[in-house]
Chains A and B, each alone.
Chain A
Amino acid sequence: MIWLAWRQFRVQAYVVGALLGALAIALLLTGPHLVHLYDTIVVTCSAHNDCGPVQVSFLHEDRVLKQVSLLLELVPALLGIFWGAPLIARELESGTYRLAWTQSVTRARWITTKLCVVGLASMIVAGVLSLMVTWWSSPFDRLQDNPFGFFGQRDIVPIGYAAFAFALGAVLGVLVRRTVPAMAATLVGFVLVRFAFTVWIRERFASPLHASTTFQAPFSTSFGAGPIRNSGTWIISSNTINASGKVIGQNGGIGPNGEINFRQLPGGASEFVGVGRCPNKIPAPPAGSRNDSSPPLAVQHAVQRCINSFHLRSLITYQPTSRYWMFQWYELTSFIVLALLLAGFGWWWIRRRVA
């Protein structure tokens, strides 16, 4: 039975294997250069005091190839659509199940073998792709230091996505019994579940931590979340509260929409919106300076002093970087369990209900 499962699947396996191989070559040819750049220029930038431009130019390296990250969003869905959905739907649709199920192999073994062979292949494809992309992107990732920002495109979770997408496709194929509608339903179902995890479930894997800092006026890199944001943590919410503990703004701002903004005034000057009675007029920058440069230090300090008098605080809810791997394992496990539940349901349905 393994022979048949493999024989029906091998052309697709070869094609995907070849594509992965080609991508591996491209990444192997360019990856070492990125590591070299990182080690020689980015690491030493503070010594040369030119970190800003160096980092910006480094992040612009290999802009095209950097899109491989998106592959990790696409590939699990594609595996579900093109490997999962047709797996059984095509047999039901073309009638060949009547040939397969009347050989001396029980239906249970047939479905088990098919699910295992193609399911494992899907997981291997996603795993290998993720390994390659994670390795290749590591210099960028280290510089950006935002592991939760690429959570679904790195390390082990893509394996779970692929397993889930595949099982979802296979089961929908069994239920719908037609290939093309099953493919469409797989795409919709996968995107919905993936989205639900990203925006809703993942942050609930562990109760978040809280940090409270003095409210900082939005002048510089310490805007809003301050030091927490810059160390790769995952900010779940950031509220501005006043002296009595009432939430008066979000994301490092004040006011109903949580914004503190510069507003351009005629003549090049600008003012802050939303800081009430505080000194908020900023003179026009001297001619020739960049438009977006921060206001003079004296003005910043004046605004900050005024804000301090209101005793505002930033209350930040976050998941620390140290939980990254725990979350990876939780999410992988969740998707694998979902995949197994689906596969078990499909297995039961094929044996009992497709009749």
Chain B
Amino acid sequence: MTAVLEAEGLGKRYGRRWALNECTLSIPSGHVVGLVGPNGAGKSTLLNLAVGLLTPTQGSLSVFGKEPAIDADQLGRVGFVAQDTPTYAALSISDHLKLGSRMNPRWDNSLAEARIRQLGLDPRQKAGKLSGGQRAQLALTLAIAKRPEILILDEPVASLDPLARREFLQILMETVAEHDVSVVLSSHLVADIERVCDYLVVLVSSRVQLTGELEDLLASHHRLLGPRTETGATIENQYVIEASHTERQSTVLVRSDGPVLDPNWTIEPVSLEDLVLAYMGQGKSQERSALVEGQE
């Protein structure tokens, strides 16, 4: 599997604060990758580094094996929708499409125009007069119509209402289905990730806590319910991610390396949200813990 995005010991420092530190990561191509993590985990910094808006303080990062934004060709291969989906307020929608066509050699104008029509937007309207959802759609249209090989979206739906959010993600999914494009999408909302992604990266305090295909992750993690056990108790074949205890009962979220042998445990499937929250909690409690790899 070739990697679209690879980071090795990647770090970005602002003054004395590290926004991202010693991040090592490899994202395979052909996936819709959800990058989740709490606020301040470094998601935005990582994605901005990936599109070359930021330069690393240390370590290295490559997209398709090349330094980001190193030349026009490399820029053309990466589509980016920045956080808050910036557009030029004074320029109309058709101006933005023209901007796209003038600044991108592989620009697909019929695709862009079809998208705008489909969205029911008036091409003469100024971008500054668009709603947040419409502006996000315009930014997405620009990123899609340049026909990138990877589409990177930095919290594209964070400021949208639920309806606009659903619409945006739907169009994103249609695009992925239509064109052969990898997607990396950051969000702190697991529901969004669940709707569109098939690959998950959990980033906590700039460390990758969990990475892998969504299906595999869900299949390999379980919630075990059973009589109260001692804290820190180990379960055969199981790697405990998170454990909570009431007076009589213990609930344990585990990664299974084999079948659960102890018949005292009741096995339940785990939701993505619980899985992500468990890893986030783990990452926070042991910030310096070793890298936990999911199944590839």
A interface residues, Cβ below 8 angstroms from B? 1, 3-4, 7-8, 11, 94-99, 101-107, 109, 352, 355
Is B104 part of the contact surface with A, judged by Cβ < 8 Å?
A: yes
Q: Interface size class for chain B?
A: 35 or more
B69 and A107 within 8 A (CB): yes
In the complex formed, the residue of B with least CB distance to A102 is: B80
In the complex formed, the residue of A with least CB distance to B100 is: A103
Given the complex, which residues of B lie within 8 Å of A101, measured CB to CB? 52-53, 69
B99 and A4 within 8 A (CB): yes
B95 and A104 within 8 A (CB): no
In the complex formed, the residue of B with least CB distance to A353 is: B55
B54 and A103 within 8 A (CB): no
In the complex formed, the residue of B with least CB distance to A95 is: B86
Given A104-B104, A352-B55, 10 more contacts at CB 8 Å? A4-B99, A94-B86, A95-B84, A102-B82, A103-B99, A103-B146, A104-B72, A104-B73, A105-B75, A355-B53
Q: How far is the CA of A97 from the CA of B100 in the complex (A)?
A: 14
Task: Choose among B55, B75, B142 the residue that contacts A99 (Cβ–Cβ < 8 A).
Answer: B142
Q: Given A7-B91, A94-B89, decide whether A103 and B82 contact each other with a Cβ distance below 8 A.
A: no
Is B161 part of the contact surface with A, judged by Cβ < 8 Å?
A: no
Most A CB atoms within 10 A — which of B73, B79, B99, B105? B99
Per-position contact with A for B161-196: 1 when CB-CB < 8 Å, else 0? 000000000000000000000000000000000000
Considering only residues 35-88 of chain B, those with a C-beta below 8 Å from chain A are 48, 51-55, 69, 71-73, 75-76, 78-80, 82, 84, 86-88
Q: How far is the CA of A99 from the CA of B76 in the complex (A)?
A: 13
Given the complex, which residues of B lie within 8 Å of A104, measured CB to CB? 72-73, 75-76, 103-106, 146
Task: Choose among B79, B98, B103 the residue that contacts A105 (Cβ–Cβ < 8 A).
Answer: B103
Q: How far is the CA of A105 from the CA of B90 in the complex (A)?
A: 21
Task: Choose among A1, A11, A106 the residue that contacts B69 (Cβ–Cβ < 8 A).
Answer: A106
B86 and A1 within 8 A (CB): no
Q: How far is the CA of A107 from the CA of B98 in the complex (A)?
A: 19
Given the complex, which residues of A lie within 8 Å of B78, measured CB to CB? 102
Min Cβ gap A111→B in Å is 13
Given the complex, which residues of B lie within 8 Å of A352, measured CB to CB? 55
Min Cβ gap A89→B in Å is 15
Given the complex, which residues of A lie within 8 Å of B55, measured CB to CB? 352, 355
B69 and A3 within 8 A (CB): no
Given the complex, which residues of B lie within 8 Å of A3, measured CB to CB? 98-99, 102
A102 and B102 within 8 A (CB): no
Q: How far is the CA of A103 from the CA of B143 in the complex (A)?
A: 8
18 contacts between A and B (CB under 8 A): A3-B98, A4-B99, A4-B102, A11-B90, A94-B86, A94-B89, A96-B86, A99-B86, A99-B87, A99-B139, A101-B53, A101-B69, A103-B100, A103-B103, A104-B72, A104-B76, A105-B72, A355-B53
In the complex formed, the residue of A with least CB distance to B57 is: A355
Q: How far is the CA of A109 from the CA of B69 in the complex (A)?
A: 12
Q: How far is the CA of A105 from the CA of B52 in the complex (A)?
A: 12
Given the complex, which residues of B lie within 8 Å of A103, measured CB to CB? 75, 99-100, 103-104, 146
Q: How far is the CA of A318 from the CA of B54 in the complex (A)?
A: 55
Q: How far is the CA of A253 from the CA of B143 in the complex (A)?
A: 76
Task: Choose among B72, B88, B100 the residue that contacts A106 (Cβ–Cβ < 8 A).
Answer: B72
In the complex formed, the residue of A with least CB distance to B101 is: A3
Given the complex, which residues of A lie within 8 Å of B86, measured CB to CB? 94-96, 98-99
B53 and A1 within 8 A (CB): no
Q: Given A7-B91, A95-B82, decide whether A102 and B99 contact each other with a Cβ distance below 8 A.
A: no
Min Cβ gap B141→A in Å is 12
Min Cβ gap A295→B in Å is 69
Q: How far is the CA of A52 from the CA of B84 in the complex (A)?
A: 71
Q: How far is the CA of A355 from the CA of B100 in the complex (A)?
A: 23
Q: How far is the CA of A4 from the CA of B97 in the complex (A)?
A: 11
Q: How far is the CA of A98 from the CA of B84 in the complex (A)?
A: 10
Task: Choose among A94, A97, A102, A355 the residue that contacts B75 (Cβ–Cβ < 8 A).
Answer: A102
A96 and B88 within 8 A (CB): yes
Most B CB atoms within 10 A — which of A7, A11, A352? A7
Q: How far is the CA of A127 from the CA of B143 in the complex (A)?
A: 41
A4 and B87 within 8 A (CB): no
In the complex formed, the residue of A with least CB distance to B96 is: A99
Q: How far is the CA of A107 from the CA of B52 in the complex (A)?
A: 10
In the complex formed, the residue of A with least CB distance to B55 is: A355
Q: Given A102-B80, A107-B69, decide whether A355 and B88 contact each other with a Cβ distance below 8 A.
A: no
Min Cβ gap B205→A in Å is 22
Given the complex, which residues of A lie within 8 Å of B72, measured CB to CB? 104-106, 109
In the complex formed, the residue of A with least CB distance to B54 is: A355
Given the complex, which residues of A lie within 8 Å of B54, measured CB to CB? 355
A7 and B99 within 8 A (CB): yes
In the complex formed, the residue of A with least CB distance to B77 is: A104
Q: How far is the CA of A109 from the CA of B100 in the complex (A)?
A: 16
Q: How far is the CA of A102 from the CA of B50 in the complex (A)?
A: 11
